[in-house]
Amino acid sequence: MNRTLYTLLFHLGLPLVAIRLWLRARKAPAYARRIGERFAMNLPAMQPGGIWVHAVSVGESIAAAPMIRELLKRYPQLPITVTCMTPTGSERIQALFANEPRIQHCYLPYDLPWAAARFLERVKPKLGVIMETELWPNHIHQCAKRGIPVALANARLSERSAKGYARFAGLTRPMLEEMSLIAVQTEAEAERFRLLGARPECVEVTGSIKFDLSIDPQLLIKARELREQWQEQERPVWIAASTHEGEDEIVLAAHRQLLASYPNALLILVPRHPERFNSVFELCRREGFATVRRSSGESVEAQTQVLLGDTMGELLFLYALADSAFVGGSLVPNGGHNLLEPAALAKPVLSGPHLFNFLEIAAKLRDAAALEEVDDAQGLAVAVQRLFELPQDAQRMAQAGLTVMQLNQGALQRLLDGLARLIAR
């Protein structure tokens, strides 16, 4: 399939896109807002001529934040336009850069040539930076037509995704040939991009910028103060973060098992998607757990068994409150989420077996004995209980995770050097 056929099929599929938006809006009403932006209409006022950064959703926005902050420092004269595709991503971007007047934000229009052209005419970027693997043929082609270099930052490409791209070589090869820089996390991924048609001189192994996460010391102080306010310094607290549908039941079953041995144990449960906050709260209540919603502002009492993390932008803080951390999206075949956030906070890290989005990071943590994988509620309960009972083991895992972080830092600097070369052209 080539780009012309792809574009035709995209136009024909617009009614399905509208239905999908409508269905999503039923669960998350924010999908029904700002629809014009998705077609490059009703865009906010934009100062042209800066850097455009695309981060599809929440995870990519958080990963992009240190890079964006460095770009703001390095190029004080340039505005930075940050785009995304989801309401939660939009909220995160607005929260991260609420006090930065040079950050401009809108949804990225759909990958239709006329919408991409209209967006680029408005923004007129000197450089486009796409986070991870969000590749859109028409946007990239419209940039190439205008001589705008496009970089793929913190690029990931699993074996499975590479096979999918290879099936549509007529579409993906020309697109990759138009990229100016593909900054990949590992050599294996670099080779996959080269085999798919990326120009070898444009592919660089920079590592994962997720290792460059820096923790604000104030975060740890605030977490300690809140634990003291709860009078819970000695109470065992664990977190299950970024959970997906089908995982919450497993986590709650593990917590029930833990409560049999540790009646004062507290679980902080954080669903990945805001549209699931209410249903997970109802699940906790239905299962008989004394549950407090973080958004309610209610205090955690001695009888509280579950704190539902139903706020946006607080995940690192909630990690900091816990003694050990389970990272979700991994007990179901979703591919996992960022294991390095709890590691950076010196928490022992647990996950399920489905980590195909983080194979390299998981391997580094596993090899350092900083990650333990479990398969079910029983395994999760046993692992958490062991960390409660053997603080030396917990401390060893936590220190190993921090060491992995420190040994693998520097990707952000290498990426920024590559972007600087493109801006200087």
Query: Where are the alpha helices (H) located in 262-410, listed in sequence order?
Result: 277-286, 315-321, 340-344, 359-367, 377-389, 391-407
Q: Which helix (H) or strand (E) holds 69?
A: helix 58-74
57-69 burial, b at 16+ Cβ within 10 Å, e below that, comes to: bbbbbbbbbbbbb
Query: Where are the alpha helices (H) located in 298-347, listed in sequence order?
Result: 315-321, 340-344
Q: Is 60 a catalytic residue?
A: yes
> How many helices (H) and strands (E) are present in the chain, helices listed first?
18, 14
257-296 burial, b at 16+ Cβ within 10 Å, e below that, comes to: bbbeebeebbbbbbbbbbbbbeebbebbeebebebbbbee
Secondary structure percentages of the chain, helix, strand, coil, to 5: 50, 15, 35
Which region, left, alpha or beta, applies to residue 237 given φ > 0 means left and ψ of -120 to 50 means alpha?
beta
Q: In the 8-state DSSP scheme, what is residue 86?
A: S
Active-site annotation holder among 60, 132, 341, 372: 60
Active site residues: 60
